[in-house]
Structure 1
Amino acid sequence: MMRILRMLLCVVCMAVPVEAKLKKGPWPTDPDLAKVEQEIEEKEQPCKKLKNIMAEMNCYERVRKPFYAEGLLRGTGNYVDLHYVDLPTPELQEKLQELLALKERARPKDAAKFDRVPGELSEEKILAEINLVEIELGKREVFQYRENLDFLKKRPATP
């Protein structure tokens, strides 16, 4: 009996931190993304009528491709290029901090499959943006390092 009680106590103690990490709504949304997603949904209506699965998938791809290419969908490289790359490094670092804070409030990626509303930001898309912004910051650091190295090579050595 004591053994069962101990095991039950261990299970309860281990479940408490998991429960504390569960996120609850309301989830952050992006109004621009909502407009784009509604437009995509409207343009995808004819695709749903197709009976051939490959034709349907190709139709969805044709509809979505221009939106990805223009950088209108969050979590894509083109979106980051359009919205973040032109920012100066200090502002980009601030945006990274904002994205990290937004990730904590965003809906977990597994929970966003069924009842997601247009414009709702998922943790998966925010993580993709964070990764791409960090890559951009890394490129800038490497570039700055190389500039400093070139500068040091041109200076005469001090005695």
Structure 2
Amino acid sequence: MNMQGQNISDVIEKYFKKILLDEKAIVIKRSEVAELFNCVPSQINYVINTRFTIQNGYVVESKRGGGGYIKIEKVNLFADQEFIQTLENLIGTDVSQQEGYDIIQSLYDEKTLTKKESNLILATIKKDAFLGMDTNLENTVRAKMLINLINRLRYEE
């Protein structure tokens, strides 16, 4: 592998995503992947925890121990009611601007939102739109807006 000039996390992420182009899910052993990339197993955890999140359209399941594994599954946003509920639970009662941006980016990447729709939503949830509102209140309002959007898209034909 040519990792020259590339961050190891980027290389590992690309490796998983390339497999997920052909497969709906992959099951890996951390130690085997760490050995493949000549890195520590915690590096694999870092990549999975930061780049394969529910906001990015992935569900991760892990089992620890001798026969342990990590399963990464790409989910089709809005086709899976359980995923929608999980996304709503993740948003909860407050969400930061960056978390909101990540969610909208995933919806755009999955072609659930058009570029124009995504840009309109991003403009709506950006910090400037809240006119100096207290950060806690801003994050609460942003979360309510995103949950309303998700619920509206759930029923779109």
With the shorter chain as reference, the TM-score category is under 0.3
TM-score, normalised by the number of residues in structure 2: 0.24
Q: 1 or 2 for the larger relative contact order (CA 8 Å, sep ≥6)?
A: 1
TM-score, normalised by the number of residues in structure 1: 0.24
Between structures 1 and 2, the one with greater helix share = 1
Answer with 1 or 2: which has the greater Rg: 1
Between structures 1 and 2, the one with greater strand share = 2
